[in-house]
Chain A
């Protein structure tokens, strides 16, 4: 392969763990050191025998060492997938369907091909191998085959000397579409039997119960986008043996390879894949985007090809969080105990399967949250429509139902005259409780008790808010602190404060019998007299801090200072995806297991005689499928709880909301890295805030109306309130160090907490998210 133009991509450079420690004290000349433009902006690479200050023997599990890649990131020297460059590189671009549903009568690429500098124009007819791919079901066409099923479906791809030229060439491709009526109503699709999965849950007999209070409401959740700041990007480089090397920002490189190889008609060993620098993921990089397309272009032209979506294309180029329509009925007895829950959940999976099947499983199994209830009837569907495909996003099927069941818990508490906290406490699951799937809650200390009853982590967490008072309304506050900030034209006469709670229960790792595993290799060797540990995994560092975590585990397990992380690529065994809050558990577990094996070997071995190494595959305990009729089955391996309390100010006349405080209590089992953990809770809470009050991809008849950061709003620093965290460590006896996955749970619970607070301030029912100004002012008769 050709040599890279300017540097080794991250994927091929070992990342050295930086020295942990506090912020350096100010030197006498803090600005004295010139910050030179990096001639070769490579992450600090220290090969065996290389340079570098040895890290002190801190930075193990429980500490917050500096991220190995942090120095490169603050210097602008970290190579994201969109920063890759190779000599002779072409740019690829995708022509996408402007119609949500159409038949392709013909595609004429002659005019595009004729443009000087255009090296390839490919359509479905040029796909070398299998015509479809998919994470679970192979139903996504590599390029449209005879019909398009959503707006933005890839139809043709172009490689040209520049991105501009590739875009202009794509405009010259003549596609004759015969427009067809799109199906955009997921309820209609379900009625027509057009769905990816139907999963019921049946428990007891809801119909035979005699409740003291019943609440029935319908809830609507909009389509949320992951909106990672780094666009979909990567580069494909043809290799001398007719294969191809891919550098791509992906969450699961081995799954990519499994999907890509058949489409390219290549044996998997002809494709080398390395993870390039990832600018956030949140589920958006679980499905393929640029992978097959850029590889096809590279193989067709014999030259390196880079692809990078712009922001608008990014909105079309990845799956989204499923919009949902949910009808819930909750009933309780006079003592405030839940009697039954009935739920009808329709998730819109869009045009292709992606991970809808698994999302429906989560929505169904977690449909009532962390509450005990003996009579349940849940029906959950993932509909197939001509809307944008939906799949993985942080929270993965747990977010939509959490908004509904928490809203229901508040409404029922009010009907019973109980406080939201007390009602939740009375119904909270405890050690030994059963979820609606029959799964026993067993991951807490079985000997621990609360007032003689089995320990309820949720009741304990709810109790902790007593010590965290709701912030007082400041006297004489500045008008810029009002909802709407400087956009608020009043003096705050219409501002009301509200407080609300939300509880989320999220499964960690893969569920429903999936063979979930991760692989890690650890080698210990002497380098110039110093013991160095090398770690090789394929786990994606998406920003969550997993590289740090690996170094911490190795330091703790092997008592070494220096840890070198080898490139995350397909030369290592699969690590599974950086999703489902699972990498600390799974790849953390694999690294720990490999370290333990190395330690064992060291008992009969002197490092002076040569290195020792071990590779281990780590699996969590097996889970079971959900029964297709009753939904029963121990489908999850680990469950994690998070509770939010939101305090909001609402201008009830202008319909403006300001979240003034978010307080969060989360059970993480074990604090592995305090700073990274807090960052996960803050960031997850922010995405939940976004869904509560601003984030929605708006579609009209299958057409996306707001594919830009001008029109799709994500929270800014002015939208996020200060957060107070209380982190609880109820160890899971089965997981490494007792940890619980932590990235997703806060994304579930912050949304219902914020909406509950808005309800408290306004007295409105608010059954749709995001809550928009017009939802708050419609009753005033001022709707536009």
Chain B
């Protein structure tokens, strides 16, 4: 079965031989796009979070067969630069294995909320496990990113990627 989708702004096609193959498996094992991480394959850890038509999902829980014609944004295409800079500057990255999924979740949060409170950040990131940081620096990074992005035009990174020549 051939599935065509757009991944980080580019057309991609995957020939899958199992109807149950996950989007995570397709991204990593078929397309060689290793930016999205596999840490539990049960939808518990959030390491494989991507945007599917703009909504954050655990790609391990999405069947690739469901993705025909849909838009997938991974850490490569979903995350505004200030979010990534903030994660680096604030020490929100240690081993970094949870980072791609967290960055996608943060990008989604900051798309919905300009200046989220700690409580809102905690709620939004409750599905992303991190074993290294104790989360403090991640909360710092979300605030720093929100501040850096304040006043910026309300454009998604994804849209900007496409719009920019």
| Complex: A474 Cα to B47 Cα, angstroms | 34
With an 8 A cutoff between CB atoms, is B51 at the interface?
no
- Are B32 and A67 in touch, CB under 8 angstroms? no
Number of chain A residues close to chain B: CB under 8 A:
83
Number of CB contacts from chain A to chain B under 8 A: 232
Q: Which residue of A lies closest to B152 (CB)?
A: A30
Q: Which residue of B lies closest to A282 (CB)?
A: B131
Supposing A31-B81, A717-B126 touch, asked if A75 and B75 sit within 8 A by C-beta, the answer is yes
B48-83 residues with Cβ-Cβ distance < 8 A to A are: 74-77, 79-82
How many Å from the CB of A255 to the closest CB on chain B? Answer: 20
- Are B47 and A229 in touch, CB under 8 angstroms? yes
How many Å from the CB of A77 to the closest CB on chain B? Answer: 7
Residues of B close to A162: CB separation below 8 A = 29
- Are A678 and B148 in touch, CB under 8 angstroms? no
- Are A31 and B152 in touch, CB under 8 angstroms? yes
B113-129 residues with Cβ-Cβ distance < 8 A to A are: 118-119, 121-123, 125-129
Contacting residue for B76 out of A35, A282, A687, CB 8 A: A35
How many Å from the CB of A187 to the closest CB on chain B? Answer: 32
- Are B89 and A279 in touch, CB under 8 angstroms? no
Q: How large is the interface on B (under 10, 10 to 19, 20 to 34, 35 or more residues)?
A: 35 or more
Contacting residue for B136 out of A77, A79, A226, A678, CB 8 A: A678
Instruction: Identify the interface centre among A26, A31, A278: most chain B CB within 10 Å of its CB.
Output: A31
- Are B135 and A543 in touch, CB under 8 angstroms? no
Residues of B close to A75: CB separation below 8 A = 35, 75-76, 84
With an 8 A cutoff between CB atoms, is A85 at the interface?
yes
- Are A30 and B81 in touch, CB under 8 angstroms? yes
Mark each residue of chain A from 527 to 561: 1 if its CB lies under 8 Å from any CB of chain B, else 0.
Answer: 00000000000000011110000000000000000
With an 8 A cutoff between CB atoms, is A364 at the interface?
no
- Are B34 and A720 in touch, CB under 8 angstroms? no
How many Å from the CB of B19 to the closest CB on chain A? Answer: 13
Mark each residue of chain B from 126 to 146: 1 if its CB lies under 8 Å from any CB of chain A, else 0.
Answer: 111111111111110000100
| Complex: A691 Cα to B127 Cα, angstroms | 20
Contacting residue for A34 out of B37, B89, B138, B164, CB 8 A: B164
With an 8 A cutoff between CB atoms, is A718 at the interface?
yes
Supposing A73-B96, A76-B74, A230-B97 touch, asked if A280 and B139 sit within 8 A by C-beta, the answer is no
Mark each residue of chain A from 677 to 703: 1 if its CB lies under 8 Å from any CB of chain B, else 0.
Answer: 011011111110000000000000000
Supposing A229-B97, A543-B96, A545-B94 touch, asked if A23 and B85 sit within 8 A by C-beta, the answer is yes
Residues of B close to A73: CB separation below 8 A = 93, 96, 99
| Complex: A681 Cα to B135 Cα, angstroms | 11
Mark each residue of chain A from 20 to 37: 1 if its CB lies under 8 Å from any CB of chain B, else 0.
Answer: 011111100111111111
| Complex: A687 Cα to B7 Cα, angstroms | 36
With an 8 A cutoff between CB atoms, is B5 at the interface?
no
Supposing A35-B76, A709-B40 touch, asked if A229 and B95 sit within 8 A by C-beta, the answer is yes
Contacting residue for A85 out of B32, B40, B80, B128, CB 8 A: B32
B1-24 residues with Cβ-Cβ distance < 8 A to A are: 7-10, 18
Supposing A23-B86, A229-B130 touch, asked if A718 and B123 sit within 8 A by C-beta, the answer is yes
Residues of B close to A66: CB separation below 8 A = 88-89
* Chain A residues packing against B (C-beta within 8 Å): 5-6, 18, 21-26, 29-38, 41, 64, 66-67, 69-71, 73-80, 82-83, 85, 162-164, 226-231, 278-282, 308, 310-311, 478, 480-481, 542-545, 675-676, 678-679, 681-687, 708-710, 714-718, 720, 722-723
Please list 12 pairs of residues, one from A and one from B, whose beta carbons are closer than 8 Å in the complex, sorted by A's number.
A35-B76, A41-B34, A64-B91, A70-B88, A73-B96, A76-B74, A82-B37, A279-B37, A282-B131, A543-B96, A679-B94, A679-B134
A23-B144, A226-B131 given; 8 more Cβ-contact pairs under 8 Å? A23-B85, A35-B77, A37-B76, A229-B47, A679-B137, A683-B131, A714-B129, A723-B136
